[in-house]
Amino acid sequence: MSIMSYNGGSIVAMVGKDCVAIASDLRLGNQALTIATNFEKVFPVTDRLYVGLPGLATDVVTLRERFRFRVNMYTIKEEREIEPETFAHLVSSTLYERRFGPYFVEPVIAGLEKGTNKPFIATTDLIGCLTLPKDFAVAGTASDKLFGVAEGLWEPDLEPEDLFETISQTLMNAVDRDAFSGWGAIVHLITPDQVITRTLKARMD
């Protein structure tokens, strides 16, 4: 029994042309038993920056609360919104603080940089080691499946609606092969002037 797959759940984020998308499944389980099918794992940080937290559900909620607190403190002190790259480092240092008693979560970050609208995605492991991919980032119990499908479907410079289709297909087909993920999905598509959030009609088994 691995702690990382105790509750199940998966996240994927993808870069498009002047847009990014981040998506998650909605399952919360206790090992093989599904407890809830409305458990969101992706949370807004600012109105153009989102963070996905797959892993142990108690830590998902605790970290969401801690990140909200730290981002609020940053906003008050700096009198400006936090940038994606800065937030990624905040995530990294928050996790590394618990180097020898970690939060069992592998965050995925997706957002647009201010002014330039440059897409930004990042992932860290559970102790905060940052990775900054240029194409897509995956995490959770279906991460290997997500890697395979994303590697096959993703292409550079996707327009927002094409990016939405790509990330949705990637997520759904990956979680359908994972017993610990699925039971619905939600996608957030971040563009320079709006965030479009859609829940997907997916397999419920």
Please pick, from the candidates 13, 22, 57, 110, the single residue that binds other proteins as defined by CB under 8 A: 57
Q: Under the criterion CB under 8 A, does residue 72 sit at the interface with other proteins?
A: no
Neighbours of 40 (CB within 10 A): 17
Cβ atoms of 19 and 119 closer than 8 Å:
yes
Helices (H), the chain: 57-78, 84-96, 143-153, 160-175
Residue whose tokens read 């563009």: 191
- Closest approach of Cβ 98 to other proteins, in Å? 9
In the 8-state DSSP scheme, what is residue 183? S
Q: How many residues bind other proteins (CB under 8 A)?
A: 34
Give the separation between CA 193 and CA 13, rounded to whole angstroms.
19
Please pick, from the candidates 15, 174, 186, 187, the single residue that binds other proteins as defined by CB under 8 A: 174
Span of 12-20, 76-84, 124-132, 166-174 interacting with other proteins by CB under 8 A: 166-174
Phi (first) and psi of residue 100, to 5 degrees:
-105, 15
Q: Under the criterion CB under 8 A, does residue 139 sit at the interface with other proteins?
A: no
Please pick, from the candidates 70, 74, 147, 162, the single residue that binds other proteins as defined by CB under 8 A: 147
Binding site residues, other proteins, CB under 8 A? 7, 28, 30, 33-36, 38-39, 56-59, 61-62, 65, 101, 144-145, 147-149, 151-153, 168-169, 172-174, 176-177, 202-203
